[in-house]
Structure 1
Amino acid sequence: MESRVNFYGFGIVLRSIVLCAFLSLLACKTKNEQSANALSNDEVAFSLGSFGYDREFLSRYYKDLVVLENGESSILISPELQGRVMTSTASGDEGQSFGWINHDLISSGEIKEHFNPTGGEERFWLGPEGGQYALYFEKDAKFGLDNWYVPRELDTEAFGLVRRSEDKAFFEREMKLVNYTGATFNLRVQRNITLLTREETAQILGISIPESIKIVGFASENSLTNIGSEDWDKKTGLLSIWILSMFNSSDQTTIIIPFKKGDEAILGKKVTDDYFGKIPKERLQVKDSVLFFKADGKERGKIGISPQRALPVMGSYDAKNKVLTIAKFSLREGAMDYVNSLWELQEFPFSGDVVNAYNDGGGLGPFYELESSSPAMDLKSNESSSHIHQTFHFVGNEGELEKLAKGILGVSIKELSGE
């Protein structure tokens, strides 16, 4: 199980960076004023918070953006940011933009030394972050903020766009990474993103979708290939694929994570809920087989689900905007080795979480995150392994969203209001 001081998907480091950045920005202008002024009214035809606004905004700062469209459903991808899905919409350019984007940092043109939290609805990273097999600390460096660096290949450097079609985009990047022990990993990353149709979404989730519900869904298939001459093994460290999704929060957004029901003596604790201090009961309700975690972007907190408890699906519900969000991902049956990102030399370096969720404390967002990880990959030379992460947004009548939530998550969204 990951430690309470483990990185959430940005982790403690990002929180510290975020806080410092926010306080600095606050001295000049509030973040809301800055975001609203990222593009003035005469520069953009769409309102702040819309997909059209974000598309026009991002096109000013990034080259060769890829937009995949199917009717009113669209996703926007940046090759410059590692084939990152920046945002999506279920209702065309004037519809809600679901991905959280750091307008202030992007418009400033600043490149930060340790990490650039530009945001984005779904990004590719690699684990582990900390420990003796860390990718974010140089060999023998002290585990602290000053020595933590996100590899440039995962932060500021581009992935190559290999090809694209009307509904697909294929990206690739070769990397040479060195971990904390000094082990070298020569690898090829392939990231294939598909905009899903309504029919494909229904088939994947095993549901029927009413015509009145607006949807957008996309899938990323992420593959690692060991292109070096040496096999990867536990003695020198293993890598994992780490997918992180940043969404805009609201005062009425709740993260919903179902998990395996069972005796803690057999399956272990239901959730790790004290990464940054114990999460108050009014913000986290843990039941027999599901938890509800407040995602308002106002108080920092992170939770994690172990491989003994994890199910291959999680979600959130925004009651204010009537949006049900679902994340579905590959979960290898029987796999128990997941990398641990604790910032210390670890006794159990392969006891990490499968599922994580994070609520920002308001320093930079507000946003929240849903994350999934692959098992640790003990790849032989020229061997590959992959991890699939799928994202869906449903917008419409709450009664119909209630039926979808029950069918996908096995949960009633009425429970969120105590009904």
Structure 2
Amino acid sequence: MNAIGVSVSFLLMVLTVSSVTKAGATEATFGDDVAFLQKHTKLVVLSDVQGKAKIAVTPAWQGRVMTSTAEGDAGQSLGWINAKHIASGKLVPHMNIFGGEERFWLGPEGGQFSIFHAKGGGFTWENWQVPPALDSLPFDLVSQSRDRAEFGAEFSLQNHAGTTFQLGVKRVVRLLDTKTSWRHLGLSPSSAVSVVGYESNNTLKNLGRQPWRKETGLLSIWIAGMHPASKGAVFIVPLKEVASEKIDEGITSDYFGRLENDRLKVMRDAVYFRVDAAYQSKIGISPSRSLGKYGSYNPERRTLTITQFSQPEGVTEYVKSLWRLQADPYSGDAINSYNDGPTKPGEEPFGPFYEMESSSPAAALAPGNTIEHTHRTVHLIGDRTELEKIARATLGLSLDVTFGADTE
């Protein structure tokens, strides 16, 4: 394992050995998970008029979308929930893994401007700590309606270089009606496919008296989420093509060591990445290759997920999170995906889950200024033939991929 390239996902998994999936991940209904969560935390359930598309959001964990359904309370629950840790009612050091399919975080994780490593310490496990404001402290529930909830928080952070940030966060989570979800995909509704879509609009504000400068460290909005993994599940990213022969330009795939082509397929216009929770790994896509969208397909759950996010045209400076002092701390990723897996041969994975993530550019904010980042998730449930059509129409890519062949 490459310690320098360790992702936050791996660290938090190892530090909470008790992490498990919710019981019966593929059988659990949305209603089951809502009932469980309501025993342990306040829950805001957003719903469409018909009561089919729903999402469950909790203020206690930073306005996190814990799970969703496209088919009402009796439909499958689409998020990954760490039931055992939640039921324990205990907080643990370093990171509390509650799960949830869409959460608010801030970057960078590593490097000289890390907000996860305290000043004066090294880039080590012992010195790694998720800021409580992004972990165990709640956001305020500012307002809510049938299909919308607004959350807010104000807090301070200090980075590894000693810079203190006074900041405010506004997070608005909206459930999309079915027609709007299809419209964002650029498609006409299909009666053969069940849909739930939602988006979060996240605003970061400099509440301090000093500007945030590159020389002393910048922050970025980082949206991540955990999804149930299964055999055959794949993460799919359409790419901007490059003029050079180096088709893997702007693609980082060695966070945990080199990935072979039975795990990662790199093409001139796409990346396919196994997310089966059978091999711990992570990839990143730079803003120079990102199209502001990606997807994943889980054949066992008959689910295609399309994610779209805001990506300002021409902006290339994104925070970098590798665990080391960095020559260029603003050459980071716009997209990441983490695949869970055993930390040692013969061990069970901590999920099984995989993560999908998007980030905003680095935020060089003057006092009182803000940066926004929107992250949209659309889950579609149907047979493979229908989902193949949607993948081709939205991502320009097929769900069919053969790993093990040479990259193209």
Q: Same fold (TM over 0.5)?
A: yes
- The 2-side partners of 1:116 and 1:377 are apart by 26
Residue 321 of structure 1 deviates from its aligned partner by 2.2
State the match for 2:4 in structure 1: 5
Aligned match of 1:54 in 33, 39, 43?
A: 33
Q: Does structure 1 residue 364 correspond to structure 2 residue 362?
A: no
Aligned 8 A contact 2:247 2:267 in 1: no
Mapped partners of 1:192, 1:338: distance in 2: 23
**For 1:110-189, what aligned pairs fall within 5 Å after superposition?**
110-189=90-169
Listed one character per residue, the Cα deviations across residues 54-106 of structure 1 (whole Å, up to 9, x for unaligned) are: 1111111102x100011211000000000000000111112111111111111
Offset of residue 36 of structure 1? 3.4
Matched-pair contact (CA < 8 Å) for 1:268–1:308: no
Contact 2:247 2:268 survives alignment (8 Å): no
* Residues 256-265 or 173-182, more deviating: 256-265
Q: How many matched pairs?
A: 395
Task: Please report how far the alpha carbon of residue 13 of structure 1 lies from its aligned counterpart in structure 2 after TM superposition.
Answer: 2.0
Counterpart CA distance in 2 for 1:111 and 1:266 is 46
Among 168, 186, 206, the alignment partner of 1:206 is: 186
User: 1:364 & 1:4 partners in 2: Cα distance?
Assistant: 19
CA displacement at 1:306 relative to structure 2: 0.9
Q: Percent identity?
A: 44
Going from structure 1 to structure 2, the CA distance change for 1:225 and 1:319 (only over 3 Å counts) comes to same
| Partner SS for 2:400 | helix
Q: Match for residue 67 of structure 1?
A: 45
2:328 alignment partner, one of 334, 343, 348 = 348
Q: 2:12 aligns with which of 5, 11, 14?
A: 14
Distance 1:205 1:381, change over 3 A: same
Pairing 1:72-83 to 2, within 5 Å after superposition:
72-83=52-63
Matched residue of 1:325: which SS? strand
Q: Secondary structure at the match of 1:145?
A: coil
Distance 1:115 1:415 in 2: 35
Higher helix share: 1
1:264 Cα shift?
Answer: 4.2
How big is the shift at 1:47? 9.0
Structure 1 segments, 4+ long, off by >3 Å, are: 3-8, 263-268, 414-418
1:193 positional shift: 0.4
Measured in 2, the distance between the counterparts of 1:265 and 1:288 equals 9
Label 1:231 to 1:411 Cα distance change in 2 as closer, same or farther (>3 A).
same
Q: Say whether the 8 Å CA contact 1:4–1:274 is kept in structure 2.
A: no
Compute the displacement of 1:14 (Å): 2.1
- Which residue of 191, 213, 216 corresponds with 1:233? 213
**Residue in 2 aligned with 1:278?**
258
Is the 8 Å Cα contact of residues 256 and 315 (structure 1) preserved in structure 2? yes
Greater CA drift, 260-269 or 141-150: 260-269
Q: Does 1:36 align with 2:23?
A: yes
Q: How far is the alpha carbon of 1:48 from its aligned partner?
A: 5.0
- If the length of structure 1 is used for normalisation, what is the TM-score? 0.90
Q: 1:28 corresponds to which residue?
A: none
1:230-379 maps to which residues of 2 (within 5 A)? 230-264=210-244, 269-361=249-341, 362-379=348-365
SS at match of 1:147: coil
Partner deviation per Cα, 1:203-257 (whole Å, 9 max, x = no partner): 2221122122110000000000111111111111100000001101111211111
Q: Secondary structure at the match of 1:293?
A: strand
Which of residues 81, 91, 109 is equivalent to 2:89? Answer: 109
SS where residue 4 of structure 2 aligns? coil
TM-score, normalised relative to structure 2? 0.92
Secondary structure of the corresponding residue to residue 126 of structure 2: helix
Q: What is the CA distance between 1:300 and its match in structure 2?
A: 0.5
Distance in 2 (CA, whole Å) between partners of 1:417 and 1:211 is 32
Superposed CA deviations along residues 289-338 of structure 1, whole A, max 9, x for unmatched, are 11111111111010011111111110011122221111110011111111
SS of residue paired to 2:240: coil
Q: CA deviation at 1:7?
A: 4.9
Secondary structure class of the residue paired with 1:137: coil
Q: What is the DSSP-based 3-state SS (H/G/I as helix, E as strand, rest coil) of the residue aligned with 1:146?
A: coil
Q: Deviations over 1:143-176 (max 9, x none)?
A: 1000111000000000001001111000000011
Q: Structure 2 CA distance, aligned partners of 1:377 and 1:163? A: 27
* Counterpart in the other structure of 1:406: 392
Write the distance in 2 (CA, Å) between the matches of 1:266 and 1:416.
Answer: 21
Answer yes or no: is the 8 Å Cα contact 1:292–1:416 preserved in 2.
Answer: no
Measure the CA separation in 1 of the matches of 2:375 and 2:100: 15
**Contact residue 119 and residue 246 of structure 1 kept, 8 A:** yes
Across the aligned residues of Structure 1 and Structure 2, the Cα RMSD in angstroms comes to 2.1
TM-fit CA distance, 1:137: 1.4
